[in-house]
Amino acid sequence: MLELNKKVFGNIITQEIIGSEPSITEIKIIFEKEFVNLLDKLKSISKENVENLLEQQKICEKHVNTRPGAMALNQSKIEMFNEYNNKYLEKIKERID
């Protein structure tokens, strides 16, 4: 069972990505704001916690991208999540190195 209220990118929950609401234009604005907030928070996280954050974010990525095959979902919002998540993962990795 997919946990719809799981926070997967800042305060964005699974339901917002795979559900019909918010619209693609609204979620793009939300992703932009969350990305900026996450990058600000990343600056103040210790190196040990950054490594943990990397693992947690990979789990969130798997959570969003692993779902029952019968579900007809909004692929464009899932692709947008992957795009922003990949940018965030890169910033996390840069912080570790």
What confidence score (pLDDT) does residue 71 get? 59
Answer yes or no: is 1 within a domain: no
Total number of domains in the chain: 1
Answer yes or no: is 72 within a domain: yes
pTM, 2 dp: 0.90
Answer yes or no: is 2 within a domain: no
What confidence score (pLDDT) does residue 75 get? 84
Domain that holds residue 71: 7-96
Lowest mean per-residue pLDDT among 34-43, 60-69, 85-94: 60-69
Using the predicted structure, report yes or no on whether residue 70 has a pLDDT greater than 60: no
What confidence score (pLDDT) does residue 19 get? 84
Nearest Cα to Cα of residue 65 among 1, 18, 13, 97:
18
Answer yes or no: is 17 within a domain: yes
Answer yes or no: is 75 within a domain: yes
pLDDT per position as a tens digit, 29-51: 999 999 999 999 999 999 889 99
Answer yes or no: is 77 within a domain: yes
Nearest Cα to Cα of residue 3 among 18, 23, 22, 25:
18
d(CA 29, CA 43): 22
